[in-house]
Structure 1
């Protein structure tokens, strides 16, 4: 009897010592912890981040376009003042050179200022351009800082920026049209002139 009871208790000890086997419930619990289940949430966050990034990128592009437009208008204004200054410097330099050369040929100028009268033509041209450039620089800077002139130049540049300039293809097509129209009109007038010359010769001429 004791041996039989020991045999019956041995399997129970063995069962208690063995690890628990995974059953259907454990499999279902492990499947619920599958990392693939978290992918939609991660994907959704990534999509939201991409959407926000695209929106911020679009906003940056719009701001960049606005800044470029404003900078382009300002650039045209500065270029206009710079070109005006260069032209004014050239004109004033030529005027100074001409006046200096005229005065250098006068006797009273040679006696009063012999050092200035002793300069050659090349030196007069060089110093004349320098003097003209300095005067033009002062004039342009004062004009650029003038509120009325600056407002007027900004308005002109803004209106010019709104002009739609033709493309290269449009200019080429328009040029061909003008050339063809001019050629046809020239041939027509030449033939018409020859025709009326022939008719006039018959009416007022000898009839030949």
Structure 2
């Protein structure tokens, strides 16, 4: 059960919300007030305020996409990969067909590339509209967004450890090889 204090706290805006409201109100009014004090037209001040508002919306849109932007990039990369493969296969097929039937002639790149681009887009759209494929892509992107990447120092330290361990193992096994060569030469020389 909630007490009256809990209900009042829930209704009161938090300090973060107050700061956000203050920043948004001061951010949108400040350019116009500044413009008026410096002698600019009201039209110029409104244009600056609109540009600042548009910039805020673009930043909010980038934050709203989150890991979803990686899903879009993956579908785009997939479409380009399919188009590339179709273009190469189409070019080779046309070339072979031209050798077999000379009336086909040399491959026409503008036709091959156009068909390849259309096939790439259609494949990407097919998998985009397929709910299971899109859900899988979303889940992969969401999990990858949780990955913590190592810092530069951590990468440097890990690389140093790997290189030193590799050098140590190389020297150790080279010495062991020479030792066993010496032992076997002594055994077989009798």
Distance 2:171 2:16 in 1: 67
Report the CA distance shift for 1:198/1:143 in structure 2 as closer, same or farther (over 3 A): same
After TM superposition, give the deviation of residue 202 of structure 1 in Å: 2.4
Q: Does 1:174 align with 2:168?
A: no
Q: What is the distance in 1 between the residues matched to 2:160 and 2:149?
A: 18
2:20 is aligned, of 23, 34, 56, to 56
CA contact (8 A) 1:77 1:154 kept: yes
Aligned to 1:106: 100
Give the aligned partner of residue 129 of structure 1.
113
Structure 2 residue runs without a partner (length 5+): 1-14, 25-58
Alignment-derived partner of residue 144 in structure 1: 128
Residue by residue over 1:136-171, the C-alpha shift from the partner in whole angstroms, topping out at 9 and shown as x without a partner, is 111212221222211111111001111112222211
- Unaligned runs of 5+ residues in structure 1 are 1-50, 111-116
SS at match of 1:105: helix
Q: TM-score, length-normalised on structure 1? A: 0.59
Deviations 1:99-141 (A, max 9, x none): 222222334x73xxxxxx24x34xx233212111111111212
Q: Of the two, which has the highest radius of gyration?
A: 1
Deviation at 1:52? 7.2
CA 1:66–1:158 in structure 2 vs 1: closer, same or farther (change >3 Å)? Answer: farther
**What TM-score do you get using the length of structure 2 for normalisation?**
0.64
User: 2: distance between equivalents of 1:185 and 1:57?
Assistant: 62
Task: With a CA cutoff of 8 Å and minimum separation of 6, indicate the structure with the bigger relative contact order.
Answer: 1
Give the number of equivalent residue pairs.
Answer: 142
CA deviation vs aligned residue, 1:43-96 (integer Å, no higher than 9, x gap): xxxxxxxx6776437999xxxx99756523111001100110001001111122
